[in-house]
Structures are given as C-alpha cells and as structure tokens.
Amino acid sequence: MRDTVMDMIPAQVATSAALLEARNLSFEAGGKRLIDGVSLTIREGSRTLIMGANGAGKSLILRLLHGLLPPSAGQVLWRGATPDHTARRAQSMVFQRPVMLRRSVLANLNFALSMHGIRGAQRATEAGRALDMAGLTDLARHPARVLSGGEQQRLALARALIGQPHLLFLDEPTSSLDPASTQMIESLIDAAHARGVTIVMVTHDMGQARRMGDEVIFLHAGQVAETGPIDQVLSHSRSEAARAWTEGRLYTNSTL
C-alpha cells in the first residue's frame, strides 16, 4: 500500500490545513500513462520536495498540480475546491529554464506587477523592492535575456514572488547554476518560506533536499514510490526505487 504525504509529515506540519490536494491523478500522452494514480497533499506553509530519477514524472506532476496541464483522470483541489482564477493567482512557478520576456529586467518585473493589477507609484515601489531582494538593482535597465543563468533565475524567482503567492512551484531552479548562485536562490526561497509561502520543489540534489525540504514525495515511473520526512526517505528508504536512487544505482523496474 502506498503512503500519502499526510501519513508521513511531521506533527507540527500535520496540524496545518491542506492547501493543495491531488486525488488519483493520472496523465497519458502518446498512448503511454506517464502519471499513474498519484494522490498527495500539500499543506499550508510546508516545504515539499518532489524527487525521483530522470523520467519519473517530477516536472509533469508539478505542471499538473499547477494546472498547466489537464489530467487524464483524477483531480486537483485548491483549499478543498476546484481551482478557479483566484487559485491560479495565488500560485506561481519558476521553471528549470527561466522564461525571460524580451524586455529589460525592470520591465519583466513591471509586467508581472501589472498583471496583478499593481500600477503607478506602488508598482515602482514593489519593483524596486523585488530588484533589491534579488540583488539586481544595478541591472534593472539591462535586457533580461543577456543576464547570466544565475541572474536570470533570480529574476524569475523575484517575478514569481512579486504577486505574493501562497504557493510557489520550483522545477529544478538551480540545476544549471554554480554554488554561489545556488546559495542565493536557496536563500531567496528560504526568505519566501519564512514569509509563509508554501514551497513545492523538484530537485535532484540530495544536499539541497536536506537543506530545503521538510518532506519528500519520491516518484518512480509516474507513481508515488515513497513519501515521508526528508531524512527518512533519503537515509532509510523503504522503497527499492528510492533506495536505489540514493545509492546511485539504476533501477529499471517499471512497477513499484
């Protein structure tokens, strides 16, 4: 029998309300079932990591939870109800490869603020604050697309946080960054979490997982192989898939 995150999360987190739930979520493409009956709960204020080998369906589940893809079966619930426009506005996502608009750094932030209905003097204040937070004040007038990878990812994160989301999805935000840039991104995520933002992040990095996560959802072949507190999943894995992954072994079994 598969665990659910609810079964495994620490007591202090278990008391908080469910922000997002996936119920028996499946996704098929090209005649293949890529996500197969995934159920999970993301609690308010938690830091949940989605881990697993390449092709396990981590990015896909993130997109399904965020509503970027429609599930083939099952449903996603936001505060117990079907997500509506306000749910989308309360969530944001940072992609593995940051998407920069063909505009300046400041214009990228201004665009996000305008889409949240923030204009005029308030927009200038908020944009200035976001630039400062991301350490990009000196680059405000630079075209966003010529920034380094780390700077682009910081801008993407600042832009994602600009609407003060309740839930932030991160799809391997530091996968191609150097240690200094990774550290800066992690501190921005930590700061957002400290302000009450719920974090759901895909990562391959076990060190980062221990630094950044409370609980782990470990996927294998589109299914939840194991869930639980970070130390338990990474150090005392109960599933063969998670154990093989943490030991650096290839695990090719397509079933759990």
Partner 1 sequence: MFSFGDIMSEAFVLILNWDRNLSEIVALSLRVTLSAVFLSCLIGLPLGALVGAFRFPGRGILTVLLNALMGLPPVVVGLFVYLMLSASGPLGPLQLLYTPLAMIIAQTILVTPIVAALTKQVVEDLHGEYAEQFASMGLRAYDRIAALLWDARYSLMTVALAGFGRAVAEVGAVLIVGGNINHVTRVMTTTIALETSKGNLELALALGVLLLSIAVIVNAVVMALRASAVRAAYA
Measured from the CB atom, is 86 or 252 closer to partner 1? 86
**70 touches partner 1 (CB under 8 A):** no
23, 79, 145, 193: which one contacts partner 1 (CB under 8 A)? 145
Q: Minimum distance from CB of 118 to partner 1 (Å)?
A: 13
Q: Residue 208, interface with partner 1 (CB under 8 A)?
A: no
Location of structure tokens 């007038």: 141
Which residues are 27's β-sheet partners? 35
Q: What are phi and psi of 65, to 5 degrees?
A: -65, -35
**Structure token pair of residue 133:** 């937070």
Of the candidate spans 18-26, 87-95, 227-235, 244-252, the one that interacts with partner 1 by CB under 8 A turns out to be: 87-95
Residue 29 touches partner 1, criterion: CB under 8 A: no
Nearer to partner 1, 11 or 81 (CB): 81
- Contact in structure between 85 and 254 (CB atoms under 8 Å): no
Dihedral, CA of residue 236, residue 242, residue 246 and residue 248, to nearest 10:
140
Report the site for partner 1 in 99-138 (rule: CB under 8 A).
99, 101-104, 111-112, 115
| Planar angle of CA 88, 121, 131, nearest 5 degrees | 65
**Least separation in angstroms between CB 117 and partner 1:** 11
CA angle 116, 94, 177 (to 5 degrees): 140
95 is a contact residue toward partner 1 (CB under 8 A): yes
**Candidate list 93, 139, 209, 234; residue touching partner 1; CB under 8 A:** 93
Nearest distance from C-beta of residue 83 to partner 1, angstroms:
10
Location of structure tokens 């209905």 = 117
By the rule CB under 8 A, 58 interacts with partner 1: no
Q: How many CB atoms lie within 10 A of CB 163?
A: 17
How far from 92 is each of 62, 145, 224, 244, CA to CA, in Å?
11, 21, 23, 32
Residue 79 as a binder of partner 1 (CB under 8 A): the answer is: no
Choose which of 2, 79, 89, 204 interacts with partner 1 (CB under 8 A): 89
| Residue 224: strand pairing partners | 219
Kindly indicate which of the ranges 30-38, 141-149, 198-206, 228-236 contains the residues binding partner 1, using the contact rule CB under 8 A. Answer: 141-149
How far is residue 72's CA from residue 77's CA, in Å, rounded to a whole number? 15
Among 92, 182, 227, 237, binds partner 1 (CB under 8 A): 92
| CA gap 234, 208 in Å, rounded | 12
Residues contributing to the site for partner 1 (CB under 8 A): 63, 66-68, 85, 88-89, 91-93, 95, 99, 101-104, 111-112, 115, 143, 145-146
